Amino acid sequence: MSVLFEPLTIRGMTVPNRVVMSPMLMYMAGPDGTATDLHLVHYGARILGGVGMVMTEVIAVSPDGRISTSDLGLWEDGQIAGIARIAEFAHAHGAKAGVQLAHAGRKSTAQERIVAPSALPYSDFSVPHALEPDEIARIVEDYRAAAERAVRAGFDCLELHVAHGYLLHEFLSPIANTREDDYGGSIANRARIVFEVVAAIRDAIPESVPLFVRLSAEDVVPGGLTEEEATWVASRLVDAGVDLFDISTGNITPGYAGTVYPAYQADHARRLKDALGVATATVGSVSSPELADYLVSSGAVDLVFVGRALLRDPHWTLHAAKQAGIDLPLAIPTYARATGPYERGF
């Protein structure tokens, strides 16, 4: 029984199917962080290709929070109109749209001065400035303001990036956080900024808007964040109003120390769902429609985030549906003339 093409309701949002385009930074924005026609066509192609939701690539909450100078931003009102077109296009074609908010922390290449929980460099990057408490408070406010702009832009859902070695994950991980104040040491302290950001965002967005967290379930390197700690953080975040955990792992240090195989991160998501009864999504090397369907149909996860397979084939979702014998409504009905019997005469 295929569940991949069944809708899912979270708060006020109903996603028409369980396939989400995973956030993927395309390095296509100008230095002003605004979205271009290329962004609209890039996301629009996957929307026409049948995904239930597109989750944007990382969108920086401040200029110094960009991974690169070609990142999108939501640190000022002038950046709203560009990305609003993506949400509008999704809605016009029956899909949903989410924004992934992030601060790159010590992995920013956008400027000379980079910031992090502690003055510990990532690989051969420059030594970051260890954030002062008042600077942390400023960043929390940047998240609040960016979240409010995302809602004004018409997005249905927000995702907070707490993985892949960017700022919020850096705070969680003892590898990047050796602070001795209220933001370091115990997992409760290391997670403090994440709790503050989630509280600020929930306060800034309507009750009906779901909040997802892309959470690193573990660092996969000795001395890093453990699954037990991540599960505790998630349990607190559920109480704070997080609706779904999009589970990833690794990248607090360069390279990936784990083993990669189809759906290699799904067990983490399933264990979190079992432990907390919370909605989860998996991501990572899910490129076969049968596997994607199995992951949701077996109850392991609620959504499947598909990354590179959707870069290779914008119509991945339509192809998956066809394989499952399901006719998704075509955004351009005339396309059906390419799949039925060949009609000559024009």
Ligand X SMILES: Cc1cc2nc3c(=O)[nH]c(=O)nc-3n(C[C@H](O)[C@H](O)[C@H](O)COP(=O)(O)O)c2cc1C
Under the criterion CB under 6 A, does residue 108 sit at the interface with ligand X? no
Contact residue for ligand X among 248, 249, 251, 282 (CB under 6 A) = 248
Amino acid at 236: R
Which residue out of 43, 122, 143, 166 is catalytically annotated? 166
- Residue 22 interacts with ligand X (CB under 6 A)? yes
Question: Which residue lies nearest ligand X, judged by its C-beta?
Answer: 307
Count the Cβ atoms, other than its own, within 10 Å of residue 7: 10
Q: Least Å distance between CB 200 and ligand X?
A: 20
How many residues does the structure list for the chain?
Answer: 346
Q: What's the min distance (Å) between Cβ of 59 and ligand X?
A: 9
Among 58, 83, 247, 321, binds ligand X (CB under 6 A): 58
* Known catalytic residue at 261: no
Question: What number of chain residues touch ligand X (CB under 6 A)?
Answer: 19
CA angle 78, 310, 245 (to 5 degrees): 70
Check if the beta carbon of residue 8 is closer than 8 Å to that of residue 240. no
Side-chain-side CA neighbours of 154 within 13 Å: the count stands at 16
Q: Is 285 in the site for ligand X (CB under 6 A)?
A: yes
- C-alpha span between 196 and 133 (Å, rounded): 12
**Is residue 308 close enough to count as binding ligand X by CB under 6 A?**
yes
110-118, 138-146, 171-179, 302-310 -> range binding ligand X (CB under 6 A): 302-310
Q: Is 282 in the site for ligand X (CB under 6 A)?
A: no
- The torsion defined by the Cα of 329, 335, 338 and 343, in degrees rounded to 10, comes to 110
At 306, which helix (H) or strand (E)? strand 303-306
Contact segment (CB under 6 A) with ligand X among 81-89, 149-157, 203-211, 301-309 equals 301-309
Neighbours of 339 (CB within 10 A): 10
Least Cβ distance, residue 289 to ligand X (angstroms): 13
Single residue of 15, 25, 151, 209 touching ligand X by CB under 6 A: 25
For residue 321, which phi and psi values (nearest 5 degrees)? -65, -45
The encoded tokens of residue 80 equal: 């709203």
User: Nearest approach, Cβ of 55 to ligand X (angstroms)?
Assistant: 8
**Nearest approach, Cβ of 146 to ligand X (angstroms)?**
15
Residue 13, strand partner residues: 10
What is residue 72's three-state secondary structure? strand
- Taking the least distance from each CB to ligand X, the nearer of 204 and 292 is 292
Q: How many CA atoms lie within 13 A of 249 on its CB side?
A: 24
Out of 284, 292, 303, 318, the only residue in the binding site for ligand X (CB under 6 A) is: 284
Q: Which of 16, 23, 128, 165 binds ligand X (CB under 6 A)?
A: 23
**307 touching ligand X, by CB under 6 A:** yes
- Judged by CB under 6 A, the residue of 96, 106, 149, 164 near ligand X is 164
Alpha-helix runs per DSSP H in the chain: 37-48, 80-92, 133-152, 167-172, 187-190, 192-204, 227-239, 266-276, 289-297, 308-312, 316-323
Residues marked as catalytic? 166
Report the interface residues with ligand X, using CB under 6 A.
Answer: 22-25, 57-58, 100, 161, 164, 214, 248, 283-286, 306-309
